[in-house]
Structure 1
Amino acid sequence: MSILKNLPYEWLVGLRYTRAGKRSSRNSFISFISLISMAGIALGVAALIIILSVMNGFQKDVTDRMLSVLAHVEIYDKNGGLQDWQAQEQAVLKNPHVKGAAPFTPMQAGLMHGNDGLRPAFVRGVLPDQEPKVSDVERNIQAGSFNELRPGEFGIVLGVDLARSLQASVGDKVTMILPQGTVTPAGMVPRMRSFTVQGIFHAGHQEFDSTMAFVHLQDAQRMLRMDAPSGLRLRLDDMHKAPQVADEIKKVLPPNLEVRDWSKLNATWFAAVQTEKRMMFIILTLIIAVAGFNLVSTLVMTVTDKQPDIAILRTLGASPASIMKIFVIQGALVGLLGTALGVAGGVAVALNIDVIVPFIEHLLGVQFLSKDIYYISTVPSDMRWPDVAKIGALSVALAFLATLYPSRWAARVNPAEALRYE
């Protein structure tokens, strides 16, 4: 209490106006509207934190699944095959952020099993002993073995959905057809080769599971009539540093080599995700804005009800700036309390969403995410404190802006007019 006594009178009056009034039904109604405004701000802040955390969680989960197959950085030779790939490998491994490198040769092909139709596939030629340095394909093998890819034996490892669409299993023969043709006296004939299925992997990402396959690097080069791999794939200690590391690597490599990081290789997908997050942020911010409009109406009603009090304060020597400060303090306190409650609730839910969602599913007898459709059965959450800080600051700023018009109106109250009928 001693602390409150030492506060300026503007703070004391503002705090008193914020508390629930008990002397009249009008004061109680105004206080009820203040509580509704506070609850609206809290709800908007909590919803924004929870939704952004879930979206960040989905993005992180999908990114991790993508990068279990994709590399963090890829290096290509613009002129064709990377003849001195061993030397370039040693050069890039000198960068402290590069933890692994492996050569590869990509090719577009069609795969066919028996009399089934042709299935498009993105086939990657790799070295089985080096591929684990840059991807998690070997750990994601469901059947067979990734190490069974041997040069000259023309083995192939298929994605689980691709194998299912081909109705192929380990040990079966599939025919690979390349769009690059061979000129014969009878005309252009597409290149074809029979491959033995040596393994089936599950990356957890529908695009890769349904279109990707792996063969030995030398077999891929023979199919494409190349004498060197197309480039190198790199894995870093921190995938978020990929753009920075790619720029560093590009400076030490010959100019004929092109360096691309994973964000550029999937630029369309990441642009779509960022656009979706921005739009969701704007939409959910409108909830806070609506609560801000409620705060405006609350303060307008308070100013109308407290005009005699304002007039008395003016006659006692209070300046218009002091009157304005009283109502700014009242509105700001409502905004701060609502924001604090929203941040606390949103953070609590975001950090425990892996417990809350299963409880709701069990209570309602439903499953929000079917594993057969989404490949994940739990709602992911990745709460980021910078997002929480931005949301809190935005909420407080909107609440402060909502106080400006009513407080300026209160400062312009004429004492004589306000006390005429008192």
Structure 2
Amino acid sequence: MLWPFYLALRQLFPSGRWFPFFTVISILGVALGVALLVVSTSVMGGFGYQIRQMIVDTQGEVQLRAYGLLYEPETVLDEVERVPGVAAATPFAEGVAMLEFARKPAFPAVQGIDLERAEAVVPLRHFVRAGSLDALDDDSVILSAPLAQSLGVRLGSRIDLYSPLLLERLKGDQVVMPRELEVVGIFEIGHQQLDNALVLVTLRTMQELYGLGDAVHGINVKLAEGSDPDAVAARINTVLAAEGRPAQARSWLDANEDFLFVLQLEKNMIFFLLTFIIVVSAFSVASSLLIAVVRKTREIGLLGALGAQPVAVALCFCFQGFFIGVLGTGCGLGLGLTFLHFRNDVVRLFTELTGSEQVLARFYQFSQLPSHTARGDLVLIVICAVVISTLAGLLPAWRAARFKPVEALRAE
């Protein structure tokens, strides 16, 4: 072991003192900064990851939308599925309708799905909390959980669905009854905005409600593993242009580019701002090491008198900053990951004490605090903390290296 390395450890942890005050305070400062960085980047990463996963799970990795209506959907499906990189595709039709139950109206978004193809693209069964997707047919409907709760709907209840087509026929003095459907399922995606305003019906039911005939509004596409969404979307657009189809395919990355950019920008800004906490703790490390240099002036002079080179003396204090950074980073990682493990319990306790459960769900759109810790973020945090702490030892090291042995030995 190099003697500067050994001496740095001995100065940080003198014999008989397991918790030296200055060492513990320095390590604690770095640990708190690292813990805050881990928690903040993981939570922001969790929001981004959950939103990305939700988009893919509900829309597919590529979505093809018609400029108006997409006729001959079976032919278009065959063309799309032959594109390299496409694993499966399913048509959809969507719109807004009025839903009524026990004289309580609601105006949710209604999406018609192809039961034979939808499961190959979007994992709908994963979101069904009550009832069954298999029970869905042309005379039934699946409601989101908050919507069902607000209307007082249960499994087996019958609701009335009014479409814009019905209103148009009423203008022509035609008597048209609303579509009566049975509730056979309740689903919950986990995103407050979608859960509050989404109803699932069969594709045929949606086509009848809107008078679409055999037409659809678009196609959701699932890609083969490892395929690039943007590249596959470009291939699909080439096929659509060659066939003269009035539609355009966009990857989920392209369709949500601005939103994803804002999420990444917020995460980077939080990381940048919280890094200053580690910088502040580095000043405390530098202060404690400068005090150590002043207190040990004669010992430093003795080292020089014994033949120690100024560089070796400087390394002694740089190593101290390095050790404080490593220990503080390790403690900070443990503290941050522990908090993330119990984050929902902490948030639940806070919201119960303040009575803000509904506020959290309404503004942040999630019922639980998400978290996703990326390996790259952890590596960056570790490198920043250790490097900044090591640099904090440069000033004390420079001051110690400038001491001349004779003058240092005369110091009082």
Counterpart of 2:30 in structure 1 is: 41
| Structure-2 residue corresponding to 1:104 | 92
Give how far 1:44 is off: 3.1
Aligned counterparts of 1:314 and 1:144: Cα–Cα separation in 2? 81
Q: Which whole-Å deviations, capped at 9, do the CAs of 1:290-344 have from their partners, x for residues lacking one?
A: 3212211111111112222333444555554443333212211221232234345
Where do 5+ consecutive residues of structure 1 fail to align? 23-27
| Aligned equivalents of 1:361, 1:218: Cα separation in 2 | 43
Mean CA deviation greater in 397-406 or 310-319: 310-319
| Cα displacement (A) at 1:55 | 5.0
Quick one: distance in 2 between partners of 1:416 and 1:273?
Answer: 59
Which residue does 2:196 correspond to in 1? 210
- CA distance, structure 2, for counterparts of residue 266 and residue 98 of structure 1: 20
Counterpart CA distance in 1 for 2:274 and 2:220 is 40
1:386 and 2:376 matched: yes
Q: Does residue 395 of the first structure (1) align with residue 380 of the second (2)? A: no
Partner Cα distance (2:274, 2:205) in 1: 53
Partner of 1:323: 313
Rate the CA distance shift 1:185–1:258 in 2: closer, same or farther, 3 A. Answer: closer
Give the direction of change, closer, same or farther, for the CA distance of 1:47–1:179 in structure 2 (3 Å limit): farther
Q: Distance in 1 between matches of 2:84 and 2:178?
A: 41
Aligned-CA RMSD value: 4.4
Alignment of 1:56-135 (within 5 A): 56-57=45-46, 60=49, 64=53, 67-78=56-67, 80-94=68-82, 97-113=85-101, 115-117=103-105, 119-135=106-122
Q: How does 1:278-293 map to 2 (within 5 A)?
A: 278-282=268-272, 284-293=274-283
The answer to whether the 8 A contact 1:369-1:376 is kept is no
What is the TM-score with the length of structure 1 in the denominator? 0.75
1:120 counterpart letter in structure 2: F
The Cα shift of 1:275 comes to 4.7
Q: Tell me if 1:197 matches 2:182.
A: yes
Question: Which residue in the other structure is 1:165 paired with?
Answer: 150
- Contact (CA 8 Å) 2:89, 2:222: kept in 1 or not? yes
Q: Normalising by structure 2, report the TM-score.
A: 0.77
Shift of 1:33: 0.7
Change (3 A) 1:10 1:264: same
Structure 2: gaps spanning 5 or more residues: none
Query: C-alpha distance in 2, partners of 1:377/1:77?
Result: 34
Between 244-253 and 213-222, report the one with greater CA deviation: 244-253
Quick one: which amino acid aligns to residue 19 of structure 1? Answer: F
Whether the aligned pair in 2 keeps the contact of 1:43 and 1:342 (CA below 8 Å) is yes
- In 2 relative to 1, CA 48–224 (structure 1 residues): closer, same or farther, beyond 3 Å? same
**CA spacing shift, 1:29–1:105, aligned 2, 3 Å:** closer
Other structure's SS at 1:11 match: helix
Matched residues in 2 for 1:309 and 1:252: separation?
79
8 Å CA contact retained: 1:30, 1:301:
no
Q: Residue 391 of structure 2 aligns to which amino acid in structure 1?
A: L
Amino acid in the other structure paired with 1:412: R
CA distance in 2: counterparts of 1:360 and 1:234, whole angstroms? 37
Which of 232, 248, 252 is the equivalent residue of 1:258?
A: 248
Between the aligned partners of 2:112 and 2:284, the Cα distance in structure 1 is 62
Q: Does 1:14 align with 2:8?
A: yes
The C-alpha deviation readout for 1:352-404, integer Å capped at 9, x for no partner, is x27x9779999xx99x9979986999876544322221111111111122122
Return the alpha-carbon distance in structure 2 between the equivalents of residues 275 and 163 of structure 1. 36
Identity %: 26
Between the two proteins, the alignment pairs up a number of residues equal to 399
Aligned residue for 1:25?
none
Q: Which has the larger displacement, 380-389 or 100-109?
A: 380-389
Distance 2:73 2:230 in 1: 22
CA pair 396-249 structure 1, distance change in 2 beyond 3 A? farther
One-letter amino acid matched to 2:292: T
